[in-house]
Copies of this chain bind each other. A is one copy, B any other.
Amino acid sequence: MKQSQLFTKTKKEAPSDEVAKNAQLLIRAGFIHKEMAGVYAYMPLGLRVLENIKKIVREEMNGVGGQELMMTTLQPKEIWEKTDRWDDAKVDNWFKTKLVNGTELGVGLTHEEPIVDAVSNYLGSYKDMPFAVYQIQNKFRNEKRAKSGLLRGREFLMKDMYTFSRDQKQHNEEYEKIVKAYFRVYDRLGLGEITYRTYADGGIFTPRFSDEFQTLSDVGEDKIYVDEKKRVAINDEIFTDENLEKLGLKREDLVEKKGVEVGNTFHLESKYTDALELFYSDEKGEKQSIIMGCYGIGVSRLMGVIAELFADDKGLVWPENIAPFSVHLLNLGEDGEAEKIYAQLLKNGIEVLFDDREAQAGQKFADSDLIGIPYRAVISKKSLAAGGIEVKKRNESESKIMTVEEFLQLLKK
């Protein structure tokens, strides 16, 4: 797309009340707009990144047999009363609203109850299981403080998956399959090596630990202890000798780190299915409890984590597979040749942001660094004289002159 037509523009300053680096950079580069603390709108560049992350998450969830659906934001209180999660004294971060007739409604903060309620229309027999459903949808949580940009939102995009299994064996198979898919997601996002499966509290209704997926970061809110050899970690909140022994971890192998939770997976046992009276019939026709798992990935949080972690002092640095465009093509006064090369890249299916604006070279370079598209390709009198376009990767310092054909070869790798 032509940058002269993109309605957003870069800014020198972020709003003075914005303290998180990820949000500061994303606002300055025109990716997001702050509606209020913890609530951000996605401008075209930001939406493109978000959609690219969604695509990766969706492909991996489909890959383990997940069936995508879309639950509702408005929630009837009855189903939440059955699990004792309606009362604000029990769950303190609800947003609630009312119908004109006064009926109280919830604004979806998670979806275990409505998922079980929907599934109960269809699930009856042991033959129906196992299966996994998921959605990628906004969640609403009434957080007291929301100062970390996209890392902790009041309205944020989440992938939540739920599995239904006939017994623990079937549940464990589903659970481990999904944990593997989680690491494929983090690998594809460039976070695999710094993200740890981290044992955490499982909740009061299971004897098991839950798993958090913690990406190492200085801005992380969680304290974790990492065993780098075993590639696992344990959350500070369950860091006791008893638990270390259960998990086969040794104090001397562990290093304290800060992490951002970019996913979590829980064993729900039959807490929700029992409470909402969803059972199945086994081979003998006998009524049995259903074992559930639930599996979250913070999609917009991941965008914030990646913005924050990969940025340098000049701006954002996007990994290639989630960048808003692959190439930032800068025309420095060679309109005819630049238009031709732009058309040629588009024809080859390359996603290009074409800086065709009437602006100083310095402004174009600074904007390009701030926006953080993986390849910068400059067309100038100098580059043409040297034989083509001057190509530089955002995360490298050396540029190189190449022909369009050579550049296309490089992009196709």
| Chain A residues within CB distance 8 Å of chain B | 5-9, 11, 30, 33, 35-36, 39-44, 46-47, 50, 65, 67-76, 92-93, 95-101, 105, 107, 114, 118-119, 121-123, 128, 131, 133, 138, 140, 142-144, 154-155
Contact = CB atoms under 8 A, between A and B. Distances in A.
25 contacts: A5-B67, A7-B67, A7-B131, A7-B133, A9-B121, A11-B121, A33-B118, A35-B72, A36-B105, A41-B69, A41-B71, A41-B72, A42-B69, A43-B69, A44-B69, A46-B69, A47-B68, A73-B73, A73-B138, A74-B140, A74-B155, A93-B100, A97-B97, A97-B107, A100-B142
Nearest to A129: B7
A41 B70 contact: yes
A206 to B, nearest CB: 24
B70 A47 contact: yes
B68 A44 contact: yes
B76 A35 contact: yes
A35 B114 CA distance: 8
Give the dominant DSSP class at A's interface.
Answer: mixed
A363 to B, nearest CB: 15
A122 B8 contact: yes
B35 A122 contact: no
A295 B140 CA distance: 27
Given A7-B122, A9-B122, 13 more contacts: A7-B67, A7-B119, A8-B121, A36-B105, A41-B71, A44-B68, A46-B69, A73-B73, A73-B140, A74-B155, A95-B105, A97-B107, A107-B107
A128 B70 contact: no
Contacts of A39: 72, 74
A97 B99 CA distance: 11
Chain B CB within 10 Å, residue with most, of A43, A46, A138? A43
Contact of A121 (B5, B33, B68, B138): B33
Q: Copies per complex?
A: 2
Contact of A67 (B6, B9, B154): B6
A164 to B, nearest CB: 8
Contacts of A41: 69-72, 114, 118
Nearest to A164: B7
Contacts of A70: 41-42, 47, 50
Chain B CB within 10 Å, residue with most, of A30, A74, A154? A74
Nearest to A30: B122
A348 to B, nearest CB: 20
B142 A99 contact: yes
Given A7-B67, A96-B97, A133-B7, A76 B119 contact: no
Contacts of A73: 73, 138, 140, 155
Contacts of A9: 121-122
B5 A131 contact: yes
Chain B CB within 10 Å, residue with most, of A44, A93, A100, A143? A100
Contacts of A36: 74, 76, 105
Contacts of A138: 73
Contacts of A122: 7-9, 30
Contact of A74 (B44, B65, B154): B154
A5 B65 contact: yes
B123 A7 contact: yes
Nearest to A143: B100
A36 B101 CA distance: 14
